[in-house]
């Protein structure tokens, strides 16, 4: 598309191989970015700007459950990115068609297709199901369990991903559960000493990674058997650090109940 003589490439897709709402096109790793990034909120949307892997000025936003990436094909202006994201509107027919569909139904990799990268394989190697009814509240908003993926090793849960959604994926939370003694490749992401994505870090028993003021964020904790990693998409409004610290005690029993149910189904 063009704004005056400035050209931009716009790409929209369902991000099913990484945590929703994270500006993956600007990220060089789980915690690092290709350049310094900036975030801006326009109404109920947040977009991030920086350099992509080609070194071009780019932006990324999580809109109506999909990832939208904009790449400048030459000269660019910050206000152009803001205008593009502000002007985007969903196609009404697609919005109606997708309403109520689960992560498994929307996802390419959770539907039996395999990819070439380890992020893809983290999703495609799991057995995905939709039968479990569960929900929790975060930031005064409800998140319902959409789909659960599970991989058994020696008859035990080795890796599980629970995908929760709010308002038809306008908001999303993933809970990544990995057995601490698991040998499954790339079952969890490492917390490395890299700069760029998160400007608040608390690496303790309940670890928090946060892009202030509105996310996205990561909460990680463990027990004697499992390592738990929760990703939270942007548009956070609660007193983040205090409430994020309380997340494990609020939902731990529910997560264990879901793990028990999916073990029985598999």
pLDDT in tens, 214-260: 889 999 999 999 999 999 999 877 666 778 888 999 899 999 999 99
Mean pLDDT of 103-127: 91
Nearest to 211 by CA among 27, 84, 75, 15: 27
Mean pLDDT of 30-37: 94
CA atoms within 13 A on the CB side of 142: 7
Q: Give CA 133 to chain center in angstroms.
A: 21
Mean pLDDT of 162-177: 92
Q: Report in angstroms the alpha-carbon separations of 133 from 31, 163, 251, 257.
A: 32, 12, 14, 11
Percent of the chain beyond pLDDT 90? 64
Mean pLDDT of 206-219: 91
Q: Report in angstroms the alpha-carbon separations of 158 from 176, 177, 180, 185.
A: 11, 8, 9, 11
Nearest to 176 by CA among 130, 136, 123, 216: 123
- pLDDT at position 141 is 86
pLDDT at 100 over 90: no
pLDDT at 16 over 90: yes
pLDDT at 266 over 80: no
- The DSSP element (H or E) to which 123 belongs, if any, is helix 118-124
- pLDDT at position 209 is 93
CA distance 171 to 22: 12
Question: Three-state DSSP class for 260?
Answer: helix
Mean pLDDT of 92-105: 76
- The DSSP element (H or E) to which 100 belongs, if any, is none
pLDDT at 53 over 60: yes
The pTM (predicted TM-score) of the whole model is 0.92
Contact by Cβ (8 Å): 220, 245? no
Confidence of residue 265 (pLDDT cuts 50, 70, 90): low
- pLDDT at position 41 is 83
- pLDDT at position 87 is 87
Mean pLDDT of 188-195: 87
Q: Comparing 240 with 136, which gets the higher pLDDT?
A: 136
Mean pLDDT of 205-217: 91
Mean pLDDT of 22-35: 95
């Amino acid at each position: 598309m063009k704004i005056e003589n400035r050209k931009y490439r716009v790409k929209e897709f369902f991000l099913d191989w990484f945590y929703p709402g994270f500006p993956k096109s600007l990220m060089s790793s789980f915690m690092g970015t290709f350049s310094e990034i900036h975030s801006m909120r326009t109404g109920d949307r947040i977009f991030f700007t920086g350099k992509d892997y080609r070194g071009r000025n780019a932006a990324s936003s999580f809109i109506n459950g999909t990832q939208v990436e904009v790449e400048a094909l030459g000269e660019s202006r910050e206000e152009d990115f803001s205008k593009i994201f502000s002007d985007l509107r969903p196609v009404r027919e697609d919005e109606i068609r997708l309403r109520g569909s689960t992560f498994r139904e929307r996802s390419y990799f959770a539907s039996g297709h395999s990819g070439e990268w380890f992020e893809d394989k983290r999703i495609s190697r799991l057995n995905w199901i939709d039968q479990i009814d569960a929900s929790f509240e975060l930031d005064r908003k409800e998140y319902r369990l959409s789909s659960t993926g599970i991989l058994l090793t020696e008859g035990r849960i080795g890796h599980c991903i629970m995908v929760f959604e709010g308002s038809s994926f306008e908001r999303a939370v993933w809970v990544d559960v990995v057995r601490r003694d698991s040998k499954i490749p790339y079952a969890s992401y490492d917390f490395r000493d890299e700069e760029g994505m998160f400007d608040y870090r608390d690496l303790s028993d309940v670890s928090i990674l946060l892009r202030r003021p509105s996310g996205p964020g990561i909460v990680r904790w463990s027990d004697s058997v499992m390592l738990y990693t929760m990703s939270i998409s942007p548009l956070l409004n609660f007193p983040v650090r205090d409430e994020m610290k309380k997340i494990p005690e609020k939902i731990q029993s529910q997560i264990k109940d879901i793990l028990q149910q999916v073990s029985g189904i598999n």
